[in-house]
Amino acid sequence: MEGVSRTAPAPILINWATNSLARAPWSSPSTIAWERLGSWRFPSLRRSRGTTLIDGYVRPAQTYAIFAAGKQNDVPLLVGHNSGEGDMTANVGSAQQYVRAVREQAGPLADRLLALFPAHSEAEAAKSQRRFETEYSFAWEAWTWGRLQSRTGRSKVFEYDFDHRPPYPDEEPYRSWGVPHMAELFYIFQHYAPDWTWTATDRRVADLLSSYWVNFARSGDPNGPGLPRWQPFDEAHQRVMHMGDPFAMSDLPDRPQLAAIDDFVRLLRARDAGAATQH
């Protein structure tokens, strides 16, 4: 990226990839495998968490394992999520489908998950499925990444929670969206849809967000003159920049939901590991 310092390791900007092939701390290839942090099959959500190629050279192991062992390229990290990621990405099923899938797949954790993501009506079940998608596929991953870097790395982590809704048209599919996947991109790049009603507040959010991103790309620290102070994330305090109105540091949101999902992913990972040993 233009403007990134050439005298220090380039920061990671919302990217799980290693920073440089030349600097990767492994040199010999091994058997190609696929990374999975835990399979799941909620019919209301995506079929699986997705996979990435582990080739033994560029990617010698699971990203989680690399960071847990402290073998990552130790550079500054900026990571976060939007408050309504799942509004766009979740495929919502019926309440009955959702509850049945949770009970089948979450086993001993089902009651806990359904208390946090309830389904007492079709409307509530749809809302819970969108929220589960947000927390599981986006918030948990950002939180986990930040915790691992804080635990095993020396470089700083800056974590955010983006919560400013663009001026979407009053029509479907936009009408039902809050702050979905990709909503922040209008502001990072200051690229405004020409037919939407952008306000002075929108432009102020864009100025703040784009300034943070440019500063981080340049120096590995998003802070700069005239910007609300963004404190680094650490596992002990878990403070994030809440990007709404206003921008301000806050406690990590939705801790009970994230803790439950953390246990759920641990269950899925153990289940996958057990299945792998049987083949």
Specify if 1 maps to a domain. Answer: no
Phi, psi of 215 (to 5 degrees): -60, -40
Chunked in runs of 10, what are the mean pLDDT values of the chain (279 residues)? 35 35 32 44 47 81 92 96 96 93 94 98 96 96 96 97 97 95 97 96 98 98 97 95 96 97 92 74
Separation of alpha carbons 273 and 70, rounded Å = 22
In a domain? residue 244 = yes
Is there a domain that residue 237 lies in? yes
Specify if 208 maps to a domain: yes
- Residue 123 belongs to domain with CATH number: 3.40.50.1820
Q: How many domains does the chain have?
A: 1
For 145, the domain range is: 12-277
What amino acid occupies position 43? P
Asked if residue 4 belongs to a domain, the reply is no
The angle formed by the CA atoms of residues 34, 38 and 43, to the nearest 5 degrees, is 110
Among 92, 96, 94, 93, CA closest to 104: 96
Residue 148 carries which side chain, given as an amino acid letter? L
Other CB atoms within a 10 A radius of the CB of residue 230 amount to 25
Residues in the chain: 279
Residue 5 lies in a domain: no
Q: Does residue 6 sit within a domain?
A: no
The DSSP code for 193 is -
Residue 96 lies in a domain: yes
